[in-house]
């Protein structure tokens, strides 16, 4: 039977990679996120050709709880269940705390942390009824360690690990696992876009941001690939991972070993 998977923020980057991996595995996948209509239609078409499952795009804004409720209801109404929920949507903002715009703080906390609470609230009753489920939160190495100028991001990512552990304990006896993946730097639009701001805040060149900031602590000195993060999500959703819950897997090239 095809599993149904929701991946938030999956019109780009890591989320699209995770959606692609589940689609190739034969799942029905509900993708979500923003972008040009043609790009989204192309992604739906590509994913639909991979494993025989159906692909649907839902444009819920992760800052809007009622749209998130509709995303989960649409997935369940279309496919009859939600077997895997991947909370992945994200944005970044790089600035000193005293210059950090209040609305940016609220937006990052809403997208990176509160949206996972909202998707989970609506998905958990469906998973309990089905007698199984997998919830995977895409956190970050920044869930375990900080960097300057990323206050909202680091706070939200630390927060999602707490939510992951709490949900895991609440759901452990229902055959529903809840885990986080903590990637190091992956070259996606989210990372590309922060390079100029980081260069400005630190007074260095954009090339130096890559070598001296992003890859400084990544012991491999290489960016993590989208496919490596997606493979970790597939593993956490597998039967082999049934006893793994309330924890995280770092995919960070050795960053947080230091």
Out of 3, 4, 7, 13, point to the residue binding ligand NAD (CB under 6 A).
13
CB of 28 to ligand NAD, least distance (A): 19
**111 counts as binding ligand NAD under rule CB under 6 A:** yes
**62 counts as binding ligand NAD under rule CB under 6 A:** yes
**255 counts as binding ligand NAD under rule CB under 6 A:** no
Out of 5, 7, 14, 168, point to the residue binding ligand NAD (CB under 6 A).
14
DSSP state of 16: H
Angle in degrees, 0-180, between the axes of helices 226-236 and 13-24, rounded to the nearest 10: 50
Q: Whole-angstrom Cα distance, residue 194 to residue 164?
A: 27
Site for ligand NAD in 187-206 (CB under 6 A): 188-191
Out of 5, 6, 7, 15, point to the residue binding ligand NAD (CB under 6 A).
15
Question: What is the DSSP secondary-structure string of 131-156?
Answer: T-EEEEEE--GGGTS--TT-HHHHHH
Which residues, other chains included, contact 136 with Cβ-Cβ below 8 Å and sequence gap of 6+?
84, 85, 86, 87, 178, 179, 180, 181, 233, 236, 237
Q: Whole-angstrom Cα distance, residue 44 to residue 154?
A: 32
**68 counts as binding ligand NAD under rule CB under 6 A:** no
Nearer to ligand NAD among residue 212 and residue 242 (C-beta):
212
Residue 153 annotated in active site: yes
Which residues, other chains included, contact 167 with Cβ-Cβ below 8 Å and sequence gap of 6+?
120, 124, 135, 178
CB of 133 to ligand NAD, least distance (A): 20
**Roughly how many angstroms between the first and final C-alpha of the chain, as a whole number?**
43
CB of 132 to ligand NAD, least distance (A): 25
**91 counts as binding ligand NAD under rule CB under 6 A:** yes
Q: Which residues are catalytic?
A: 153
Interface with ligand NAD (CB under 6 A): 9-15, 32-35, 61-63, 88-91, 111-112, 138, 140, 183, 185-186, 188-191
């Amino acid at each position: 039977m095809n599993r149904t998977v929701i991946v938030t923020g999956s019109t780009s980057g890591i989320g699209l990679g995770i959606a692609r991996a589940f689609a190739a595995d034969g799942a029905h996948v509900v993708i979500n996120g923003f972008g040009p209509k043609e790009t989204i239609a192309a992604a739906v078409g590509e994913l639909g050709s991979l494993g025989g499952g159906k692909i649907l795009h839902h444009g819920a804004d992760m800052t809007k709880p009622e749209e998130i409720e509709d995303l989960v209801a649409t997935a369940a109404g279309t496919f009859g269940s939600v077997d895997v929920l991947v909370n992945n949507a994200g944005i970044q903002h790089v600035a000193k705390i005293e210059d950090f715009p209040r609305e940016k703080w609220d937006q990052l906390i809403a997208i990176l942390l509160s949206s996972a609470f909202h998707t989970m609230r609506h998905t958990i009753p469906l998973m309990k009824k089905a007698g199984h489920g997998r919830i995977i939160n895409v956190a970050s190495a920044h869930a375990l360690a900080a960097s300057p100028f990323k206050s909202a991001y680091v706070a939200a990512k630390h927060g999602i690990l707490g939510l992951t552990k709490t949900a895991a304990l609440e759901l452990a006896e229902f055959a529903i696992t809840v885990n986080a993946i903590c990637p190091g730097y992956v070259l996606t639009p989210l990372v590309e876009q922060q390079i100029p701001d980081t260069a400005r805040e630190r007074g260095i060149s954009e090339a130096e941001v890559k070598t001296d900031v992003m890859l400084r602590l990544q012991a491999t000195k290489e960016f993590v690939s989208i496919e490596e993060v997606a493979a970790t999500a597939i593993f956490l959703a597998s039967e082999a991972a049934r006893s793994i819950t309330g924890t995280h897997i770092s995919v960070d090239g050795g960053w947080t070993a230091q």
